[in-house]
Chain A
Amino acid sequence: MSLKISQSTVILPSCPGIIAYASVGGKKEGEGPLARYFDLLNDDTSFGEKSWEKAESQLQKDCSSKVLEKAGLSPGDIDIMFAGDLLNQCIGSAYGSREMDIPFIGLYGACSTMAESLALASVFVDNAVANRALALTSSHFCSAERQFRFPLEYGGQRTPTAQWTATASGSVIVGQSDKAPFVRAVCFGKIKDMGVKDVNNMGAAMAPAACDTIMAYLTDTNTTPDDYDMIYTGDLGEVGSSLLIELLQRENIDISKKHNDCGLMLYDREQQDVHAGGSGCGCSASVLCSYILRRIEDGTMKNVLFLATGAMMSPTSLQQGESIPGIAHLVHISNTKG
């Protein structure tokens, strides 16, 4: 049974295993430095569908089918699924899971949804509420742009601090297993808002939340960044990453040598015109389910903190002059149980 050691941190004594993981990407992701780690890459941004929303659902379907295939399981073997995306009312997930016939919990955590869904799935498995749980998220550049920003063909310029929403999906199946990777602990983040109002600088809006969650976890577990091989945030981008390092330095925590950001890993920022880096639920999800979990599984990394961050605003709240609340959930993933 899970052990709650603070307001935010929950230790999972059974160390639920990640039985299988899968990642699906679009064309731009296929041109990026992590392309070879993806399970599926699709050059057709529409995924054979007539609307961008349908394309995103198809992307999720491809990802959930792939993870089931990799685990050698059928939907009936999964007790519960946690899924979310960036679209209003989480339709990417709801429509993408229509044919799954698995008890479904829809989540909205903006770009933090991968860590949020993985954390919840792990807690469910650790407490034997589910034998196997599926965590799944996605984002699609085109469906996100039309909801949050401008039509695709509109001739606007992006600012240097803007981030690029990934067309990607990631999914994991969590269950009791003897094979790495294992989820050792989770830390649920708190909403932090430091008054950033620029929607083209979401990294800056989310960095304080990431800082707060990292501090909480390190304090609760009495550990330092040196106890981990890497701390991966997603998706703070260039601006948010440098702010996070600076914020933690003020608290005498140095993560500069242990930190990387999924938004900086998914694309070649110079060549692929993504400005401050990638973003979207699919960004951290696909980096986790392609590169990071593989490196933990093969033992290259033993202990990793995966920390997905979300900017919890809407176009309406921004138009009303509200600032952007940030969130960051943390999952401690390890190569060993003990």
Chain B
Amino acid sequence: MNLTTKDYEEMNKKASPNTKSYMTIPCAFIIGGIICTIGQALVNLYMYCGMQQEQASTVASVSLVFLSALLTGLKIYDNIAKVGGAGTLVPITGFANAVVAPALEFKSEGLILGLGAKMFIIAGPVIVYGVTASAIYGVILCLFNLV
């Protein structure tokens, strides 16, 4: 074969279909929007029941995490995500799914080396860099406040 890797890369690009963004982006918008609307509805519900705004928001987040974990366990969440894409990934429900899915998957290797060790295999980096970023942000904020 008289072909450079660069030529082949071009051929491959032409042969490979792209993601149908005109479908996936609206789907993500709608499903992500629905999840956020459910979140807002929960906040309103909890406030109606007498909670303060801040407390209601926290409890609503906890509720969404629970619902996502439950739907993951019932093998429903991944089917929603197949359509929703980033719409199910970005809200807090995506994070819950990313923890529960490996926990379920790797329990066959035992509670410690399986479930315990691999539970954060997807969410771990998000936590590591999320915490690091917030610490850096905190330092910057602190410096600005000093000035």
Contact = CB atoms under 8 A, between A and B. Distances in A.
A238 B68 CA distance: 35
Nearest to B5: A195
Interface stretch (A10-18, A115-123, A155-163): A155-163
Interface stretch (B58-66, B99-107, B138-146): B99-107
Chain A interface helix/strand/loop/mixed = loop
B122 interface: yes
A215 B2 CA distance: 12
Contact of B16 (A146, A155, A201): A201
A157 B81 contact: yes
A146 B104 CA distance: 11
Contacts of A212: 1
Contacts of A159: 19
Interface stretch (A21-29, A80-88, A243-251, A298-306): A243-251
Interface in A226-285: 238-239, 242-243, 246-247, 250-251
Contacts of B11: 243, 246-247
A157 B104 contact: no
Interface residues of B, number: 38
A196 B12 contact: yes
Interface in A187-210: 192, 194-196, 201, 204, 208
B108 A157 contact: no
Interface string A41-57: 00000000011100000
B22 interface: no
B134 interface: no
B84 to A, nearest CB: 8
A247 B1 contact: yes
A277 to B, nearest CB: 12
Contact of B3 (A52, A201, A247): A247
A195 B6 CA distance: 9
Contacts of A151: 101-102, 104-106, 122
A155 B12 contact: no
Interface string B63-85: 00000000011010110111011
A243 B19 contact: no
A52 B108 CA distance: 9
A239 B78 contact: no
A153 B19 contact: no
14 contacts: A151-B102, A151-B122, A154-B105, A155-B77, A155-B78, A155-B81, A157-B81, A159-B19, A160-B16, A194-B8, A194-B9, A196-B9, A208-B1, A238-B17
Contact of A204 (B12, B77, B89): B12
B101 A152 contact: yes
A225 B105 CA distance: 46
Interface string B1-39: 111010011011001111110001000000000000000
